[in-house]
Amino acid sequence: MIKIIIYPVVIFFMCSCGVKKTTSTSYNNQSSQKSLESEYNSNDRYNLERFRNIKSSKLRVYKDNFEKAQNAFFLDNWRLAIYYLNIVISSREDADAYFMRAYSKSNISDYDGAVSDYLKAINLRPSFVFAYNNLASVKYNYFKIVKSSINDLKKAISYDDNAPLLFANLAIIQIFDESYEKAISNATKAINLGSEKIYDVYYTRGKAKRLFDRFDEAITDLKRSLDYKYDNPKSHFELGIAYFDLEKYDESITSYTNAIRYSSTDDTFPVHIAYENRAIAKNLNKDFLGSISDFNKSNELHSETNINNKAKIGKVHFSWGGELFEDNSWVLAIEQFKIAKDLNPSLQEKSNYNIASSYINLSNKFISEDSKIVLQMNSLGTSPSDNIKYSKLKKQRERNFLNELKYLLLAYEHDKKRKSLLKSISEIYKILGDTENYIFFKGKAENIN
């Protein structure tokens, strides 16, 4: 009776090489924090100077139309205000009139016209502080002109260093300029000067601190912002990013949930990004179904993200497959890896490797008892009853090899260049007496370095 050699069982591990941890999407440029334009009467020091000396003003048409322009302006009737201001300016150039017309033009999205009028107002009154502020705001918010906007605000501060709005806006633009330490300093000045929108300045400083990797301080500022205005979605959103950066995914998910909950309070808040970020956090927190649901919601709210989110959903399925793989749930893992590569072609190679590894591990269950079968076969004698038992065990062993081969060939469909797999297939064909396939796969294995 021939002694039988045990066929070794090899567990293959999942490939995760090259798959980086997904990062949370920042509150990006398309929805970045805007610097604030000052309304015309936001500070008593900058009221309508023309009306202080109205009796000594020039022509009656000038006075009447300025009053009409003012009434329309404070009723937010921008086009009517522009109509009357055109008449005023045609009769006599006036810094206040240019300021009002610039502000009105900004509100009807005529940003080029607004910039032109703010410059004319400054030319007529070089110390016009809030004209500098609004000029910087329009240039930054709508043209992303950074350095010049910073210079405009510094010029305004040189005339008035007690206006918190100037420091708050300077901090916002310096964040975009990646001058985080300066942004923190100027936001602090705005806070100390008693900014009217204190919650927004704490948000700005918190964001700057997060980007400067001062995460704990950032969280403190963002919570302070929420103390003043809890329904501010931007502060919850930024808090979610800060917690994410600290890998505190539960807290991050809670913060994004609050951002979504209060998103209706801010028409400019991009709630689809909050869903996307929460999806990423849920994926890392192993809530795969929740992550996929949030990505789909983000797609529903903002169709332009659909392609990118489709790829990200693929990554969620890849992570889910990895988790199932680690739990030895290889059939379910294969399903997730197949979805992953369909949604995200960049994951095809890694997914195929993991699918092949899963099939290899599935194949092992059919050979895991081979040692016991071999021991039984080798312990038998030559009696007729032992010969019958031997034949049965031999057939059982052949069935196990055939079942193992089935899964190894499925693995081969997804990974044709794994030398160890090719050698395993060739060895089984050799055991089964299939010389043709044994030589074929043996040759393929030998051709791989």
As for how many domains the chain has, the answer is: 2
pTM, two decimals, is: 0.78
Residue 2 lies in a domain: no
pLDDT of residue 38: 61
In the listed set 265, 283, 302, which residue is the last one of a domain according to the structure? Answer: 265
Q: Do 242 and 222 meet the contact criterion of CB atoms below 8 Å apart?
A: yes
Q: How many CA atoms lie within 13 A of 200 on its CB side?
A: 17
Whether 114 and 241 share a structural domain: yes
The pLDDT assigned to 42 comes to: 38
Q: What is the pLDDT along the chain (449 residues), one digit of tens a residue?
A: 333 333 333 333 444 333 333 334 443 333 356 666 665 443 433 333 433 343 344 556 778 888 899 999 999 999 999 999 999 998 888 899 999 999 999 999 999 999 999 999 999 999 999 999 999 999 999 999 999 999 999 999 999 999 999 999 999 999 999 999 999 999 999 999 999 899 999 999 999 999 999 999 999 999 999 999 999 999 999 999 999 999 999 999 999 999 999 999 999 999 999 999 999 999 999 999 999 999 999 999 987 767 778 899 999 999 999 999 999 999 999 999 999 999 999 999 999 999 999 999 998 887 777 777 788 888 888 888 888 888 888 888 888 888 899 999 999 999 999 999 999 999 999 988 999 999 999 999 999 88
| Shared-domain flag, residues 256 and 378 | no
Query: Are 253 and 126 in a shared domain?
Result: yes
What's the pLDDT score for residue 41? 43
Q: Name residues whose C-beta falls within 8 Å of residue 197's C-beta, 6 or more positions apart in sequence.
A: 36, 168
Give the separation between CA 185 and CA 335, rounded to whole angstroms: 53
Q: Which of 223, 246, 265 is the last residue of a domain?
A: 265
pLDDT of res. 439: 94
Are both 258 and 406 inside the same structural domain?
A: no
Q: Is the same domain home to 371 and 259?
A: no
CATH number of the domain at 379, please. 1.25.40
234 and 370 housed in the same domain: no
Residues 104 and 238 both lie in one domain: yes
Cβ(228)–Cβ(202) below 8 Å:
yes
192 within domain boundaries: yes
Within a domain: residue 293?
Answer: no
Half-sphere exposure (Cβ direction) of 202: Cα atoms closer than 13 Å: 22
Boundary (domain end) residue, out of 265, 300, 318? 265
* Contact by Cβ (8 Å): 337, 361: no
pLDDT for res 39: 54
For residue 144, being part of any structural domain is answered with: yes
Q: pLDDT by residue (tens digit) across 414-424?
A: 999 999 999 99
Q: Are residues 77 and 199 in the same domain?
A: yes
| Domain assignment of residue 410, given as a range | 361-446
Distance CA 166, CA 160 (A): 9
pLDDT at residue 247, rounded to an integer: 96
Are the C-beta atoms of residues 202 and 224 closer than 8 Å to each other? yes
Q: What is the largest distance, in Å, between two alpha-carbon atoms of the chain?
A: 132
**Res 278: pLDDT:** 96
pLDDT reported for residue 340: 95
List the CATH number of the domain containing 84.
1.25.40.10
Please check whether residues 243 and 378 belong to one and the same domain.
no
- Do the domain assignments include residue 106? yes
Q: Which amino acid, 306?
A: N
Residue 331: inside a domain, yes or no?
no
Q: Which pLDDT does position 35 carry in this prediction?
A: 65
* Residues 257 and 391 reside in one and the same domain: no
Could you tell me if residue 327 is inside a domain? no
**Domain assignment present for 289:** no
pLDDT of residue 37: 65
Residues 246 and 128 in one domain: yes
User: Are both 108 and 231 inside the same structural domain?
Assistant: yes
